[in-house]
Amino acid sequence: MDLPRRRFLAKAGLTFASLLSANVLISSAHALEGISAIEHFLSDKNNFAIAGIKLRNRKAIEEIYRVRKFAPLWTTDSHPTYTSVVVAQRLANANLLGLEPSKYYGRLLNQLATENFHNNLLEFELLMTDSLISYFDDIAHGATEPPTSKAGWKLERARLPANEIARGFFNGEKSLSETIDELHPTHYRFNRLLNALRDYQAIEDTGGWSSISNGPSLAIGDRATRVAELRQRLLVSGDLQYNTTLDHELFDNELAQALTDFQTRHGLEPDGVLGPNTRKALNVPVSERIAQLNLNLDRWRWLPREMGFSNITVNTAGYEMDVTLSGQVAMNMNVIVGKPKHATPLFSDTMEHMVFNPSWYVPTSIARKLLRKEARQPGYLIGNNFEVRNKSTNRAVPFNQLTPFDLDPQFFSAKYWLRQRPGDENALGRLKFMFPNKYSIYLHDTNSPELFAESGRAFSHGCVRLEKPEELAELLLTADGHDYSAIKSYQAQQSTKKVNLHNPLPVHLTYQTAWVDDSGKINFREDIYKHDRHALAQLDNNHTRFAQAESNALALTGMTLVSNLY
């Protein structure tokens, strides 16, 4: 949408806000002349298009108007109703919710309402209703489609009774604002992200930010014209709050701190140095960041509205995990997730138990690598507390009884397991948290805690490694009613101990490349599993397709863009 129209809509938003505050409802008043036209059109089952646009929700439209005895929703005495002004404004401002405005034909509806409106009653009525139904559905379920299960996206898409919820509005029983609130995700992270989107749209409306020129790395004490570019860039995005220096080309401590803040919220090494990776992140246009915010809003719409009053949510793209107990965030920690070639699958399940001092039955793919290492370094497996167990008997088999054929990586797994005993060398560490699933994914401790110091933490073969496993165990077991002294005894003993949860806990493995943290800062992350690429392509296609359809409809109706309805 161009800047003049955005500015106009911002002014029109004052009218819109006042109408919403009045809890505008659908009026029962109608123009008699519109009744027969609507009924006639809908009685012909072959009518699927109006103003050159194929109706997306014909069946739902028919049901809505039949209940109303085919009375118009949006017109009275051959004029647009007060409510239609509110609705059209919402559709034109769909970008404020991260949705594509042209999908809801705001320009076309504006023209139908302003140019020979008396002759456009039917088109205005049906396109307005059709667009609003689609708008409600997109608010509830998202306007884009999740990646395929083959791509690792196993999360089930939320299914709300959007038509049933919307029916209350069409029947005049609830306001537009109430309807949208009921359809929206209620999670606090969604609402934070929505506010962030509007902040970035405001930045775009004022011209966005400029790119940083190419050149050598810059740090504290350096002086260059590129330092002034960096200073201006960080002022626009809010990382540099105030520009107190008179020497804009000097890289001072204030600028270094602002750059460190930028690096931290973009998942970069927070060294306060303008290097290649940091410059690349700085030069991402604001329009691309807005698209990233849009697609991450859709991901919240895909998730269940009820994620559990208590739950664990892992953001694989952000390498972090939240623990919510009784509706309050009780713990946050860094995590390690799967490498891109061993991507952590995204799904929801239920944590049922945890295991202290677990053993590790090595997956076949990893066992092959370890057996090759054993061939190069005889004694490696024994030295790292591994044993071989027969699959049919589950009994340990001494290494000296195994033949070279038995230890061949190609044939070993047909007959044997490779198991690592509990202990400090164990890859699972001292704890694992089990939510049994067909992907063999779980949360666990690690024997490589130094990896948590890395800004990018995609190192595992799929499971999620925890920064603070003992604190998590204490938190969950205490909340679950387990005695504190018993918890300490589990931690102290060397043998394996399985502890069941009295109240199983929902676990959600998600993928968010944009979010707002508890300090109110917008965070962005790299698209480690290329799910953003899939979604951004959809956003681009949607914009092209719907903008073209709207332009074609304007051309078919022979109308030109004139003054706004508002």
Q: List the catalytic residues.
A: 444, 463
Is the CB of residue 260 less than 8 Å from the CB of residue 241? no
**What do you get for the CA distance between the two ends of the chain, in Å?**
17
How far is 286 from 284, CA to CA, in rounded Å?
Answer: 7
Is the CB of residue 482 less than 8 Å from the CB of residue 498? no
How far is 442 from 448, CA to CA, in rounded Å?
Answer: 17
Triad 93, 99, 105: Cα angle to 5°:
60
CA distances, 556 to each of 48, 58, 430 (Å): 16, 21, 69
How far is 187 from 499, CA to CA, in rounded Å?
Answer: 31
Is the CB of residue 90 less than 8 Å from the CB of residue 538? no
Is the CB of residue 352 less than 8 Å from the CB of residue 437? no
Using alpha carbons, select from 127, 124, 156 the residue that is nearest to residue 34. 124
CA distances, 332 to each of 329, 336, 467 (Å): 8, 13, 10
Q: What are the residues facing 338 on neighbouring strands?
A: 460
Is the CB of residue 91 less than 8 Å from the CB of residue 106? yes
How far is 461 from 452, CA to CA, in rounded Å?
Answer: 16
> For residue 258, how many other CB atoms are within 10 A of its CB?
23
How far is 136 from 550, CA to CA, in rounded Å?
Answer: 19
